[in-house]
Amino acid sequence: MSGIVQQDQTKVQVVASGGCHDCGGRCPYFIHVKNGKALRIEPHEDLKACARGYGYIRRVYAADRLLFPMKRVGERGEGSFERISWDEALDRVATELRKALETFGPSCVLCQGSSGSPGRLNNPAPIYRLFNKLGGCVYRWGSASAEGAYFAAKVTFGTHAAGHTKDDWIHSKLLILWGLNPTENIWGTNTSLHLLRAKEKGVRIVTIDPRLTNTGALLADQWIPILPGTDTAMMLAMAYVIIKNGLEDRGFLDVYTVGFDVFKAYLLGEEDGVEKTPAWAESLTAVPAKTIEELALAYATEKPAALIPSFACGRTAYGEQFHRAGAALAAITGNIGIAGGSPGCCDIPPVGVSPGPNMPSSPSLIPIGENPFEKKGPQEGHPLSFESRSRFKVHNTKLWDSILLGKKGGYPGDIRFFYVVCANPLNQLPNTNKGVKALRSLDFIVVQDQFINATARFADILLPVTTHWERDDYMRPWLGGDYHLFGNQAIAPLGEAKSDFEIAWELAKRVGIADYSERTEREWLEEIVFSSEDSRRDIGDYDAFRTAGMARAKVKRPVIAFEDQIRDPKRFPFPTPSGKIEIFSQALADLGDSRLPPIPKYMEPWEGPRDPLRKRYPLQLITFHFKTRAHSNFDNIEWLKELEPHTIWINPRDATPRGIEEGERVRVFNERGELWISAKVTERIIPGVVAIGQGAWYRPNEKGIDRGGCANILTRDEAGPGGSTPTNTALVEVARCEG
């Protein structure tokens, strides 16, 4: 074991560690270890972990941890497995993989990695490196969380690092939290505390959300309930009000933006004959026109004001437009690049940004190399087009279709072999029931995980992975932030679990990739720690960093996106084609896709409040992040699960006519499936909308009805035109559960 003083095992040793999963935070804490066993966790003095962090000890030692390699002995999905040796498991995977590649080529292998590990060494990247060295395979694309925001930020600002560090919020006069709920989904360690500081300093806080979240309940001065998927309409109406009152920041627009006049013409109805008035927006959003007008005037006059967009609103049918419209509003009011403002588009501060493993050039990861499969065939196509981006990869929402339909359906390959690492796609991607069909159709499935989750139940071979308490790793703040973490190994691997890197290397040896690694795991880690410019700046001595477990970024705080561009636009153009903030994007105009217009527009969402399908399924469903889970992690941890029941939120105005009472078990269904769940009848949700926390484990009964309450039973496997994953766009019906 490294990173721990080894002298006396019988004394309590304190190990600097931290980070859990893609919970929204990345928090340092200290693990007390005695006789090789982790006893308990001590908080860090100022970066505070949440219930998930303190519950992690139960996850590490959970009775249902996957600790040994297993092979399937029952039917696919039945969950019957038998313990086998690592040799047998790896040989079997290697044999099946070689067979698939030799017979059908790289297009028959699909590799799905996601955000299941917080480490920069151990995550899907080592497996990606292996597959790329093997000749490539089909990967997925699209961030299930934030692709709408990434798309919009890239188009509008040329980068997705378009936010401020949260310590800037005290400089605002008005904070508009658009769908943001950091007290439950964290949104960067200590974000809620910064919000509290802002409130206590007198900053007015408005929350716009279909639910009165814990964040709204505690911190907001005003809750504006809104129908899901209609946020863009409200934003356009706010822009309309600002322009009609002559309050737009003309100086800012002239110097820093392109295309305001085209946007203005659209708002005034010159393009489509529809004026985007507050009354127009009221009819779509259920937000009173007067409320929209008041907020617009406040936002334009109480400067600096920060509009903080949540990724959740982007996870809707045309979610890209929400983030584009937010950016336009921020530009119109001149709230970009200044303390107390916000670019209103994609709230990631330009410090400590940790790019995902699906971005091959990203630093702070083991180099994954290029995917040879993607180099075959023509590469042309528009970089923003969904089709171009799907030429060799599969979008998140299309994973199941790509397996079921293959090349005939226009997908990159006829998938036979599926490798899943740090991911639980059956549970966490839309349309679980279609996923079940897809997984049943495959030749071979390998799942590398810590638990036998919904996806793992369908595996042919299960490979047990260590938790980050059982290995050293380097961690960066969730999406960005001003510190670095080193998670020291606290305990020996449990059972026969191996790290993601070890598994990839072992597998490489068996499939004949002799040059998989020229370094040991420990050497790679040091290499990765110093592989980015900011880590070289902030982390001096490697051993001192490991001992402390943390290093602070050497930056001037708060960090404000586009400060340079606003101060000196000649010297620092925006990284866009025009060098300016693109309210109008020529690149989008050239794309010629009416669903991705060059200016932000409102488009009627499918399965939205005005879809005729509402006759059959009258309620809009949203699937929010739950405070005791990190996606599907922790749902099996009793200590966390018992804190708050997993329920569907429903307003009494919707519950009463259906005869549904508080705590009663209900059926929630649409044409994609059905789940059973308890009802939380509450005034905290807008009528016409129901909400289920995402991440509960899919637990079907013999009829295929999910009793675990996995929200993706109900979500639609349709992508936003820019690649968003619209898990907050679905229509359902709710009924009492008889019997």
Partner 1 sequence: MAWWRSAARSVRRMPRSLKFELRAMQLAFLIDQSRCSGCFTCVVACRQWHSSELEVTAWRRVEAIEEGTFPNVGVTFFSLSCLHCRKPSCLSACPAGAISKRDEDGLVLVNPQRCVGEKQCGLCREACPFHLPQFNPRHDFRMEKCDFCAERLDQGRGPICVEACPMEALDWGPFDVLMKRHGVTGGGKGIPLSKESEPSVLMKGKR
**Is 39 near partner 1 (CB under 8 A)?**
yes
CB environment 605-632: b (16+ within 10 A), e (fewer): bbbbbebeebeebebbbbbbbbbbbbbb
3-state secondary structure at position 185: helix
* Single-letter residue type at 433: N
**Is 98 near partner 1 (CB under 8 A)?**
no
Residue given tokens 């699209």 in the structure block: 142
- For partner 1, the closer of residues 247 and 550 by Cβ is 550
Cross-strand bridge partners of residue 626? none
CB of 241 to partner 1, least distance (A): 21
Stretch that binds partner 1, among 52-60, 271-279, 457-465, 581-589 (CB under 8 A): 52-60
Residue 671 CB coordination number (10 Å) = 12
CA atoms within 13 A on the CB side of 33: 26
- For partner 1, the closer of residues 194 and 672 by Cβ is 194
Strand order in the sheet with 28-34: 13-18, 28-34, 37-43
CB of 39 to partner 1, least distance (A): 4
**Is 572 near partner 1 (CB under 8 A)?**
no
CB of 627 to partner 1, least distance (A): 6
Angle between helices 289-301 and 278-285 (to 10 degrees): 120
Residue given tokens 């066993």 in the structure block: 37
CB of 183 to partner 1, least distance (A): 4
Stretch that binds partner 1, among 249-257, 419-427, 678-686, 717-725 (CB under 8 A): 678-686
- For partner 1, the closer of residues 400 and 469 by Cβ is 469
- Single out the residue of 3, 19, 28, 55 in contact with partner 1 (rule: CB under 8 A): 55
Instruction: Count the residues of the shown chain that bind partner 1, applying the rule CB under 8 A.
Output: 44
- For partner 1, the closer of residues 261 and 683 by Cβ is 683
Stretch that binds partner 1, among 239-247, 311-319, 408-416, 676-684 (CB under 8 A): 676-684
Range 158-217, binding partner 1 (CB under 8 A): 183-184, 190, 192-193, 196, 212, 214-215, 217
- Single out the residue of 360, 372, 687, 688 in contact with partner 1 (rule: CB under 8 A): 687
- For partner 1, the closer of residues 75 and 683 by Cβ is 683
CB of 41 to partner 1, least distance (A): 6
Q: Are 179 and 206 in contact (CB under 8 A)?
A: no
Range 640-659, binding partner 1 (CB under 8 A): 640, 642-644, 651, 653
Cross-strand bridge partners of residue 446? 419, 461
- Single out the residue of 41, 539, 583, 666 in contact with partner 1 (rule: CB under 8 A): 41
- For partner 1, the closer of residues 108 and 660 by Cβ is 660
CA atoms within 13 A on the CB side of 231: 36
CB of 118 to partner 1, least distance (A): 18
- For partner 1, the closer of residues 190 and 285 by Cβ is 190
Q: d(Cα 186, Cα 673) in Å, to the nearest integer?
A: 31
CB of 605 to partner 1, least distance (A): 22
DSSP H or E segment with residue 45: none
**Is 54 near partner 1 (CB under 8 A)?**
yes
Range 624-643, binding partner 1 (CB under 8 A): 627-628, 639-640, 642-643
* Cα-trace Rg, the chain: 25
CB of 283 to partner 1, least distance (A): 18
Q: d(Cα 445, Cα 418) in Å, to the nearest integer?
A: 5
Range 213-242, binding partner 1 (CB under 8 A): 214-215, 217-219, 223, 225
DSSP output for 343-372 = -SSB---SSS----TTSTT-SSS------H
- For partner 1, the closer of residues 412 and 695 by Cβ is 695
Instruction: Give the alpha-carbon dihedral of 709, 711, 713, 717, to 10 degrees.
Output: -170
**E runs forming strands in 296-360:** 305-309
Range 305-324, binding partner 1 (CB under 8 A): none
Please list, in sequence order, all residues whose beta carbon lies within 8 angstroms of the beta carbon of residue 379, skipping any fewer than 6 positions away: none
CB environment 347-364: b (16+ within 10 A), e (fewer): bbbbbbbbbbbbebebbb
- For partner 1, the closer of residues 184 and 248 by Cβ is 184
**Is 16 near partner 1 (CB under 8 A)?**
no
Q: Are 316 and 228 in contact (CB under 8 A)?
A: yes
CB of 550 to partner 1, least distance (A): 17
What is the contact surface with partner 1 in residues (CB under 8 A)? 32, 39-43, 48-51, 53-55, 57-58, 183-184, 190, 192-193, 196, 212, 214-215, 217-219, 223, 225, 627-628, 639-640, 642-644, 651, 653, 682-687
